[in-house]
């Protein structure tokens, strides 16, 4: 039986590298879906990988759109019956030359609500032995937030929906210029990543049969990656990984050996679990 993999936000950068890596590792017996919002860009990415001898399948997907996510899930259910690897990688870019209040809405909708949509639509499709990985960052530890905000992201106390509500409340505060007054960090990337990792932790706790079915869910920090999204924020990219280099550790999680529980429900960077609290 073919292994079925899906990567969101995959027409460039890390996402494209993840599709490339999955194509090589799953080989002829694998079906890898390269998803993109834009058909033209998606087709260009597929042609690039085809020129390298790979055979990804293009799927149009906008993680900001409930219907788009559901339609892809329905398609995969009909064609394959389930999925073996899901890498939720789609992320909105933010830039330092625009006020964060102008960017936070799309950022949260893509990174946080997009993660939520993928969880709700694709977790029911996970086959036994499946891996579900959310690409986040080391900013996703709750210790990067003031202690008074920790309960909002405590997987022992909150639901996925409550995390979504917190992210919407946060975005509204940023747009109103009230976030700093309420104790939130200045940079919108920090709460967003905490929200993503918290969602992974809630999901892991909710999958009571995950160990019995050998399902692993985790968040992955690929480290600093040399992409168009990263370059505006860093003056020196000499230490950055290429997308293909960064993909290696994410794929290590996404293709974890049968029976592996390493990283389940955790944030993992360079194959090490990062502390979520202290």
For the entire predicted model, the pTM comes to 0.96
Q: So what's the pLDDT on residue 229? A: 83
Cβ neighbours of residue 201 under 8 Å, at least 6 residues apart? Answer: 155, 265, 266, 276
As given in the structure block, the two tokens for residue 220 are: 């992955």
Please state, in angstroms and rounded to a whole number, the distance separating the CA atoms of residues 231 and 190. Answer: 18
User: CA nearest 104: which of 176, 188, 167?
Assistant: 188
Please state, in angstroms and rounded to a whole number, the distance separating the CA atoms of residues 182 and 52. Answer: 51
pLDDT at 17 over 80: yes
pLDDT at 196 over 90: yes
Domains delineated in the chain: 3-274 (3.40.50.720)
Confidence band, pLDDT 50/70/90 cuts, at residue 1: low
Q: So what's the pLDDT on residue 181? A: 95
pLDDT at 228 over 90: no
Q: So what's the pLDDT on residue 67? A: 98
Residues 141, 35, 94: CA angle, nearest 5 degrees: 45
Mean pLDDT of 214-226: 95
For helices 114-122 and 160-175, the axis angle rounded to 10 degrees is: 160
Please state, in angstroms and rounded to a whole number, the distance separating the CA atoms of residues 175 and 56. Answer: 39
CB 119 within 8 A of CB 130: no
Mean pLDDT taken over the chain: 96
The three-state secondary structure class of 87 is strand
In angstroms, what is the C-alpha Rg of the chain? 18
Mean pLDDT of 32-52: 98
User: CA nearest 218: which of 245, 189, 197, 249?
Assistant: 197
């Amino acid at each position: 039986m073919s292994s079925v993999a899906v990567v969101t936000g995959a027409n460039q950068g890390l996402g494209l590298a993840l599709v490339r890596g999955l194509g090589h590792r799953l080989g002829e017996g694998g079906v890898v879906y390269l998803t993109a919002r834009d058909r033209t860009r998606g087709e260009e990415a597929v042609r690039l990988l085809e020129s390298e001898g790979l055979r990804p399948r293009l799927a149009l997907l906008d993680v900001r759109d409930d219907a788009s996510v559901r339609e892809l899930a329905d398609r995969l259910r009909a064609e394959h019956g389930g999925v073996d690897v899901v890498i939720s990688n789609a992320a909105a870019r933010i830039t330092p030359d625009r006020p964060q209040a102008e960017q936070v809405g799309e950022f949260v909708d893509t990174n946080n609500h997009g993660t939520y949509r993928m969880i709700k639509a694709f977790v029911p499709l996970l086959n036994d032995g499946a891996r579900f990985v959310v690409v986040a960052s080391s900013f996703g530890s709750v210790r990067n937030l003031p202690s008074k905000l920790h309960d909002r992201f405590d997987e022992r106390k909150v639901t996925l929906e409550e995390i979504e509500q917190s992210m919407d409340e946060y975005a509204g505060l940023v747009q109103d210029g009230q976030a700093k007054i309420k104790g939130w960090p200045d940079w919108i990337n920090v709460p967003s990543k905490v929200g993503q990792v918290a969602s992974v932790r809630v999901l892991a706790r909710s999958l009571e049969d995950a160990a019995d079915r050998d399902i692993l869910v985790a968040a992955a920090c690929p480290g600093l990656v040399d992409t168009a999204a990263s370059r505006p924020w860093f003056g020196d990219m000499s230490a950055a990984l290429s997308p293909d280099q960064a993909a290696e550790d994410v794929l290590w999680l996404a293709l974890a050996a049968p029976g592996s529980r390493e990283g389940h429900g955790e944030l993992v960077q360079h194959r090490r679990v990062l502390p979520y609290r202290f």
